[in-house]
A = this chain, B = another copy of it.
Amino acid sequence: MTMTRQAAAPRSARRTGISEATVARLPVYLRVLTSLAESGVATVSSDVLAGAAGVGPAKLRKDLSHLGSYGTRGVGYDVEFLVYQISRVLGLTQHYSIVIVGVGNLGQALAGYGGFGTRGFRVAGLVDADRSRVGSVIAGVEVKHVDELERIIADDAVSIGVIATPASAAQDVCDRLVEAGVTSVLNFAPVVLAVPDGVDVRKVDLSIELQILAFHEQRKSLVGQGAS
C-alpha cells in the first residue's frame, strides 16, 4: 500500500477536460451567479461576471467553455442556467454528508457556517475527544464523543471529513476517517497529513496564509531602490 503524503488529484480531472485551476474557480463564479440571480438579473456578460469574480474576461470564458457552449454571442450567459450547469459539474446536485472532528472555536465556527448546510452538504456528525463538550448542541447538531466516529460514518455514508483538532491529534483522526471509509478530507490542523492513494486532502492553514502575506508586505517596504 503506497502512502503518499498530501495526495493531490492532478490528472483526475483529465477525463472531463476540466482542469484543476478551473475547478477551483467555479465555486467563485457560482457564488456570484447565485447572488446575481437573487437580485433578479437574468443574463450576464463575461466582462461583468469576470469583474465580479475578480478574474479576467478571457479566463472566465475559457473556464466556462470547458463545461459546454452555454453562452449566447452578442448577449452573454443566462444566469439561472449557468448556476445549474456549474452546480451539476461540481457535483452539488448530489448530497454529501460530512463529519466535523474537533468542536473548539474553529469547529463551532465551521458547524455554524451557513455554506455547510446549504448546497448539498449536510453535517451528519460533530465529534470531540473532550467529554465535557459531548452532549451540547451546536447549529442543531448534538456533539458526540469521538469514539462514535466510525459508527456515524457508516450510518450516514459520510464521505467527507473535516479535521478541526489540535495538530497532535490530526494524523490519528485522519487515519480513523480513512479507515472508516472517508475519501475526502478538509484539514485545518497545521500538519501535513499522510493518506493512501485515492484519498483527497485539502488543507487550510491560517499561519501559512499569514506568512505569505508577510512576504509581500516585506517587499512593499523595499520600494524605490529599483533599477537604473
Looking across the interface, which residue of chain B has its beta carbon closest to that of A25? B208
Contact indicator B115/A210 (Cβ below 8 Å):
yes
Interface check A57, CB cutoff 8 A: no
Interface check A196, CB cutoff 8 A: no
Q: Count of chain A residues with Cβ under 8 Å from any Cβ of B?
A: 67
Interface check A53, CB cutoff 8 A: yes
Chief secondary structure at chain A's binding surface: helix
Contact indicator A215/B28 (Cβ below 8 Å):
no
Q: What are the nearest 8 A-B pairs in CB distance?
A: A91-B218, A115-B207, A6-B54, A105-B109, A5-B54, A106-B109, A27-B211, A27-B208
Query: Could you list 28 examples of A-B contacts with CB < 8 Å?
Result: A5-B52, A23-B215, A24-B212, A30-B211, A31-B190, A52-B192, A53-B192, A89-B215, A90-B214, A90-B215, A91-B214, A91-B218, A96-B217, A110-B206, A113-B206, A113-B207, A115-B190, A119-B211, A120-B214, A121-B210, A160-B210, A160-B213, A160-B214, A183-B217, A184-B217, A186-B209, A200-B217, A204-B204
